[in-house]
Structure 1
Amino acid sequence: MTVTEVLRRFNRTYTQRIGVLEESFLGTGRPLAVSRLLFEIGSAGAVGVRELRELLDLDSGHLSRMLRRLEDDGLVATTVDGADRRRRLVSLTTAGQQAYDDLERRSDERASSLMAPLTPRQQERLADALATADLLVRAATVRLRQVGDDDPVAREATRRYVAELDDRFPAGFDPGPLAPEPDATWVVATSDGRPVAHGGLRPVPGRDDTAEIKRMWVDAGWRGAGLGTRMLRHLESLAREQGYRRVVLDTNGTLTGAIEMYERAGYARIDRYNDNPYAEAFFEKELSSAS
């Protein structure tokens, strides 16, 4: 079977086995979509309506209808955020917490019953296979979008990028305040409303035909799924669209995985082209219409 056929077959099998087709998911009296919304609210404690919309990739109308049902059932309450009155927060009521706990119990019981006929070795194989499938499906459906460097998701990605380099570099990493770059293009990849990859593109002073790729970062839990390569190709495509003929980048020698990715992508080592004190390896790639 092809990959598409395998995925469709798995979807049919899995949705039937976990009760997605039932009007009352796991016997809760609520369909799966509403139960999922209850789960996300309960997991977060208190969460903004906008964050819920991005997390579940729902339009405003659909989300509002599901929230209204949970409110009518007395399970959630919506309030105005005291720190930002434009933001609405959703949290569980006491009854909602009880419903959340019941949903968790039922979900655990269903998962346990599905796994029970398998041997420990089979359960381990299934867990490994599902973890790999989950990562690859998420990577295939991740959203890449251009953002300003003041976008909250972009700021979070940059904060995590700086923190990781500070942890990995032998002497730490302290770039100081990162000033706005109005000529730069920033791209963030999000999954479930959270940043999982980030990168930027900016002009190189004095080289009108060359752009520099900056702040390439992929969440550690997503490495091995090809997301770094996808982000790199996306930035190269943006560079071509903006009229650049080549791209350059720098990195630290500690980041061996990144260096291997650049070399696989056709980047060639060049001499130092900037005064970045943390950079130890420098690369360049000519951009053609087919690259």
Structure 2
Amino acid sequence: MRHENTDPVSAEHVATLRRFNRYFTRRIGALDDHYLGQDRPLGEARLLFEIESGGGGENGVGGGVSLRELRARLGLDAGYLSRMTKTLEAQGVVRIGVDPDDNRLRRVELTPAGRVEIKEQNRRANALAAGLLDNLSEPQRAELTHAMATAQRLLRLAAITVTLVDGAAEDARACLDAYAADIGARFPEGFDKSDLVRPEQVTGDAGAFFVAYEEGRPMACGALRTLEPGIGEIRHVWVHPEARRLGLARRILAELERSAVEHGFDVVRLDTHAVLTEAQAMYRACGYTEIPAYVDHVYASHWFEKRLAGAR
């Protein structure tokens, strides 16, 4: 289940994004069969980079990566990825073997020749980036890098999907376990997992549970349950540390509110802990009003309510 944004995408926005894509891919040489002047196209060069970094980009630690993880990260067809890795293996720049932790998986890593090539690739890529930035003043460089960071954040958010799942689903319970560990480390008194919602409270007519996925990985969640007739309660809005500051919590909250309307709730309520100041700020910014305690909850210091537009 995925809701469409109520604001239609304008033709101007589409044209602007496509125009930028065309310019940028041409400017960095993505269309060249000899990317960065080396004897391989961009696809193979990028694959080598991901293998070298363990699939984690420039901050990766190396040591290879499973083909399954590469497939998810790069969004490649299994057959196409297999053909590319076999080509690189035949050229002597990677080796393919069995994952030592799971013999059902194949793992690919760089050979010494591959490490030499990726080192040269990184040197040339850095030189290309420096050459582009060299023609700008320092304030212009700062403006460009800030704009690119914003673009990356928003494109990443756009690629994340928020899906309604059964409250007993494996991904739902995994997210709740991660939520419990996260807030347990933040709350001075710790956290008792018995306080988590039960599957039957957030499934079907009783409520809803949403999981956000990035490249197949569950990265955020949120729950809605029935508090009393006409009133729903939002619980456990959580975002993985790697996906914070994207605006993902607000997307989860918006899905929960839409689901609350579909369930016939006129009002939603929630509570939050005193240490979760960022959560309090988000709820206020999203139209929630602080109210007196509506339930005796050991972890609650602030209680909020919001009347829903469009409720039946």
How does the TM-score come out when normalised to structure 1? Answer: 0.80
- SS, match of residue 63 in structure 1: helix
Task: Pick the aligned partner of 1:187 from 198, 201, 210.
Answer: 210
Deviations 1:2-22 (A, max 9, x none): 544433332222111111111
Match of 1:228 in 2: 249
The within-5 A match list for 1:132-281 is 132-146=150-164, 151=170, 155=174, 158=176, 161-162=179-180, 164-166=182-184, 168-169=186-187, 171=188, 173-176=190-193, 181-183=198-200, 184=202, 185-192=208-215, 194-204=217-227, 207=228, 210-219=231-240, 225-241=246-262, 246-281=267-302
Task: Pick the aligned partner of 1:79 from 82, 97, 118.
Answer: 97
Number of residues of Structure 1 aligned to a counterpart in Structure 2: 287
Distance 2:16 2:273 in 1: 41
Q: Label 1:273 to 1:60 Cα distance change in 2 as closer, same or farther (>3 A).
A: farther
Residue 43 of structure 1 aligns with an amino acid whose one-letter code is S
Q: Using the TM superposition, give the Cα deviation of residue 124 of structure 1 relative to its aligned residue in structure 2, in angstroms.
A: 1.9
- SS, match of residue 199 in structure 2: coil
Distance 2:293 2:242 in 1: 31
- SS, match of residue 19 in structure 1: coil
Q: Higher mean Cα deviation, 272-281 or 220-229?
A: 220-229
Q: Using the TM superposition, give the Cα deviation of residue 270 of structure 1 relative to its aligned residue in structure 2, in angstroms.
A: 4.0
Kept after mapping to 1: 8 A contact 2:265/2:311: no
Could you tell me which runs of 5 or more consecutive residues in structure 2 were left unpaired when the two chains were aligned: 1-10, 55-62, 203-207
Extract structure 1 runs of 4+ deviating beyond 6 A.
Answer: 177-180
Q: Using the TM superposition, give the Cα deviation of residue 115 of structure 1 relative to its aligned residue in structure 2, in angstroms.
A: 1.1
Match of 2:27 in 1: 17
- Computed over aligned residues only, the root mean square deviation of the Cα atoms, in angstroms, reads 3.3
Q: Using the TM superposition, give the Cα deviation of residue 102 of structure 1 relative to its aligned residue in structure 2, in angstroms.
A: 2.3
Task: Pick the aligned partner of 1:105 from 104, 123, 127.
Answer: 123
How does the TM-score come out when normalised to structure 2? Answer: 0.75
Distance 1:209 1:48 in 2: 49
Q: Label 1:239 to 1:82 Cα distance change in 2 as closer, same or farther (>3 A).
A: farther
- Aligned residues: percent identity? 40
Could you tell me which runs of 5 or more consecutive residues in structure 1 were left unpaired when the two chains were aligned: none
Q: Higher mean Cα deviation, 127-136 or 76-85?
A: 76-85
- SS, match of residue 123 in structure 2: helix
Distance 1:107 1:86 in 2: 35
Q: Label 1:143 to 1:98 Cα distance change in 2 as closer, same or farther (>3 A).
A: farther
